[in-house]
Structure 1
Amino acid sequence: MIAAVNLDEGPIAIHRTFLSGDAKADFDKPKRALGALGEAAVRLFAPASGLLGLAEGIESAMSAYALTGIPVWATLGNERFGLVSVPESVTELHLFVDHDAGGELAASRGLAAYARDGRTIHVRKPSSRDTDWNDELTAWLRRKAAR
């Protein structure tokens, strides 16, 4: 899977996830960036009416969007929450963090970096410990199918 990593000016890097069948490839570091990420993100959806979400990975970002309808960008790492440049026009920011220690780090960094007058920040995590937003979507789909 290949994704452009963008700033306002356009793409500055490429993020690659090596896959094997329906999972990440079984070798060291199946997720790799080509180029310096800096303040960029995988901008999957444009902010809408001042609303934007951030999630750790591409799969989590897409899953958070599917569950909430909030446009989401992938930061490409829990440690990158707070590094990604968020437009000043964003007045409501949702931090879709993992429900684990990495997610706590992401929430802490995001809250510190993105707080400003006129902006509301929501920290959102999946319902179950040690899961991410892709796990949350998978569980929701299973529950829906079981009805």
Structure 2
Amino acid sequence: MTALDPRQIAKIMGGDVIGRDAVNVPGPGHSKTDRSLSIKIGSKYPAGFVVFSHAGDDPIECRDFVRDALGLGSFRGEQEQERRRAPLSVVVNTGASIVNDKNKDWALQIWQQSVDPVGTIVEGYLRNERGLELGTDIAGRVVRFHGSLKYDQFRRLPGMVCLMRSILSDEPVAIHRTFLDRDTGAKVDRKMLGPAKGAAIKIDPHASLDGRLTIGEGFETTHAARHAGFKPAWALGSAGAIGAFPVLRGITQLTLLKEIDPTSDLKTNECAKRYLRARRHVKVITPNVGTDFNDVWKASQR
């Protein structure tokens, strides 16, 4: 199959090019102004592209909808022809790498579609619910706003989207979504998307590391620590991620934001022991108010 051109796809399907290899177009049965169907182009995909519906449409229907629009015919029909021509073979594949690649693509598409959070419900959530200022240094670079995140098959909610980068390579690989109530601005839920293992919300850039690093679980907890002067800082997303945090070259002093929770206690100690064995300085901060450092910060502002 010939290489697909995003500009040609956008022209044929009445959509918009959103990246070097990505297009948003109207989904099947949607209006011409709709842009709920994302198309990611790549030779690694069996059809030459992969689709993701932000409206929850059936992925098989969306894939064939795109193929029909581009004159490529039914993917099922093409597969059947190839099956008849090919010799019998057995392929064993767990599908883990394919799923990770697909989720990474979806995550980064959502990140690309998200916008500067200044003046949005995200800024209000951080200030009113968490006692935190967004900060122009992280707005758009680390934190963005999305007005319609798919929460479940029935609901789409606005939310805060944080970019997660590989701890070692700094490559963007996943996102962390905080779903917010459209009316009150309060947190509804949190979810990660993409291969988040071995990744972090690098609130301060990797290049800014100066021998010191503070790590915590949640973005809000870690950002609160930054307000108190603990910089540079990264949020890892979970206690398990803290427990698995590797010893990084150049880090001579690690500060761990412990939470009042048995799992946090266990995983924080695992990480601390790893760094101590590597002859690095370790500081563990335990909250004396509430359950995490954000609670401590909010109490200090009253």
- For the criterion TM > 0.5, the same-fold answer is yes
Displacement of 1:23: 2.1
* 1:73 corresponds to 2:257: no
Distance 1:113 1:31, change over 3 A: farther
Give yes or no for contact 1:40–1:85 (8 Å, CA) kept in 2. Answer: no
Q: Percent identity?
A: 31
Match of 1:62 among 206, 213, 223: 223
Do the aligned partners of 1:115 and 1:121 also contact (CA within 8 Å) in 2?
A: yes
Q: Which whole-Å CA distance do the structure 2 matches of 1:87 and 1:93 have between them?
A: 10
Deviates more, 1:110-119 or 1:87-96: 110-119
Structure 1 residue 107 corresponds to structure 2 residue 268? yes
| Aligned partners of 2:245 and 2:271 also within 8 Å | no
Q: Judge conservation of contact 2:214–2:230 (CA < 8 Å) in 1.
A: no
Q: Matched residue of 1:18: which SS?
A: strand
Superposition deviation, residue 99 in structure 1: 2.6
* Alpha-carbon displacement from aligned partner over 1:1-58 (angstroms, at most 9, x marks no partner): 1011101241111111111233211xxxx21111111211111013532010110100
From 172, 185, 205, the equivalent of 1:22 is 185
Structure 2 unaligned blocks of 5 or more? 1-159
State the match for 2:200 in structure 1. 41
Residue identity in the other structure for 2:175: I
Distance 1:86 1:15 in 2: 23
Once residues 274 and 195 of structure 2 are traced to their aligned partners in structure 1, the CA distance between those partners, rounded to angstroms, is 20
Structure 1, gaps ≥5 residues long: 143-147
**Higher Cα Rg, which structure:** 2
Q: Contact 1:82–1:114 (CA<8 Å) still a contact in 2?
A: no
Aligned pair 1:136/2:299, yes or no?
A: no
Higher relative contact order (CA 8 A, sep 6+): 1
What TM-score do you get using the length of structure 2 for normalisation? 0.42
Give, in whole Å, the separation in 2 of the partners of 1:23 and 1:84.
Answer: 30
Kindly indicate whether the alpha-carbon contact (under 8 Å) linking 1:53 and 1:72 is maintained by their aligned counterparts in 2.
Answer: yes
Residue of structure 2 equivalent to 1:11: 172
Take 1:53 and 1:33, find their aligned partners in 2: how far apart are those partners? 21
Q: CA deviation at 1:118?
A: 4.1
Amino acid paired to 1:35: G
Higher share in helix: 2
Count of aligned positions: 137
Provide the alpha-carbon RMSD of the alignment.
1.8
